[in-house]
Amino acid sequence: MIDHCSFSIDPGRLDIHLDFPRGSCFACPLCNAPCKAYDTDILTWRHLNFFQHQTYLHARTPRVECSRCGVHRVNVPWARPNSGFTLLFEAFVIQLVKAMPVLSAARLVGEHDTLVWRILHHYVDSARAQADHSSVTQVGIDETAARRGHDYVSLFVDLQQRKVLFVAPGKDASTVSDFAQDLQAHKGDPLAITEVSADLSKAYIKGVADSLPNASQTFDKFHVVSLVNDAVDEVRRLESKLQPELSGTRYLWLKNPANLTASQELQLQTFDLTRCHLKTTRAYQIRLVFQDLYAQPPEEAELYLKRWYFWATHSRIQPIIDVARTIRAHQDGILRWFDSHINNGILEGINSLVQAAKAKARGYRSDRNFATVIYLIAGKLDLSCQPT
Q: What is the pLDDT of residues 60-71, one digit of tens each?
A: 999 888 888 889
Q: Check: CB of residue 80 under 8 Å from CB of residue 86.
A: no
On whether both 333 and 354 belong to a single domain, the answer is no
Phi–psi pair at 64, nearest 5 degrees:
-120, 150
On whether both 215 and 70 belong to a single domain, the answer is no
Domain count, the chain: 3
Within a domain: residue 323? yes
The whole-angstrom separation of Cα 139 and Cα 186 is: 15
Average pLDDT of 80-91?
94
Nearest to 143 by CA among 162, 131, 133, 157: 157
On whether both 51 and 111 belong to a single domain, the answer is yes
Within a domain: residue 298? yes
On whether both 191 and 154 belong to a single domain, the answer is yes
pLDDT tens, residue by residue, 111-142: 999 999 999 999 999 999 999 999 999 999 99
On whether both 17 and 117 belong to a single domain, the answer is yes
Residue with the bigger pLDDT between 30 and 87: it is 87
pLDDT at 226 over 90: yes
On whether both 44 and 15 belong to a single domain, the answer is yes
On whether both 306 and 351 belong to a single domain, the answer is no
Radius of gyration for the alpha carbons in the chain, expressed in angstroms and rounded: 29
On whether both 354 and 215 belong to a single domain, the answer is yes
pLDDT at 377 over 90: yes
pLDDT number for residue 36: 84
Q: Check: CB of residue 16 under 8 Å from CB of residue 5.
A: yes
Q: How confident is the model at residue 170 (pLDDT cuts 50, 70, 90)?
A: very high
Residues of the chain with pLDDT > 90, as a percent, come to: 72
Average pLDDT of 174-203?
96
pLDDT at 277 over 90: no
Range of the domain at 317: 222-337
Average pLDDT of 369-387?
88
Q: Which of 92, 126, 160 is the last residue of a domain?
A: 126
On whether both 210 and 308 belong to a single domain, the answer is no
On whether both 53 and 110 belong to a single domain, the answer is yes
On whether both 74 and 103 belong to a single domain, the answer is yes
Long-range contact pairs involving 242-250 (C-beta distance under 8 Å, separation at least 24): 243/278, 243/280, 245/270, 245/271, 246/278, 246/280
The whole-angstrom separation of Cα 216 and Cα 339 is: 10
Within a domain: residue 384? no
Looking at the whole model, is its pTM more than 0.95?
no
pLDDT at 97 over 70: yes
Q: Which of 126, 147, 164 is the last residue of a domain?
A: 126
Q: Tell me if residue 167 falls in helix, strand or coil.
A: strand
Within a domain: residue 387? no
pLDDT at 149 over 70: no
Mean pLDDT over each residue of the chain, to the nearest integer: 92
pLDDT at 311 over 80: yes
On whether both 202 and 349 belong to a single domain, the answer is yes
The whole-angstrom separation of Cα 104 and Cα 96 is: 9
Within a domain: residue 293? yes
Within a domain: residue 17? yes
Average pLDDT of 198-221?
96
The whole-angstrom separation of Cα 231 and Cα 234 is: 5
Q: Which of 96, 126, 156 is the last residue of a domain?
A: 126
Average pLDDT of 33-56?
91
Cα 156 off chain centre by? 8
pLDDT number for residue 388: 44
Element (H, E) at 28: none
pLDDT number for residue 172: 94
Within a domain: residue 383? no
Task: Return the number of other C-beta atoms located less than 10 Å from residue 241's C-beta.
Answer: 9
Q: What is the CATH number of the domain that holds 197?
A: 3.30.420.10
Average pLDDT of 208-229?
96
CA-to-CA separations, 328 to 131, 230, 289, 321, 323, in angstroms, rounded: 40, 17, 16, 11, 9
Within a domain: residue 132? no
The whole-angstrom separation of Cα 279 and Cα 312 is: 12
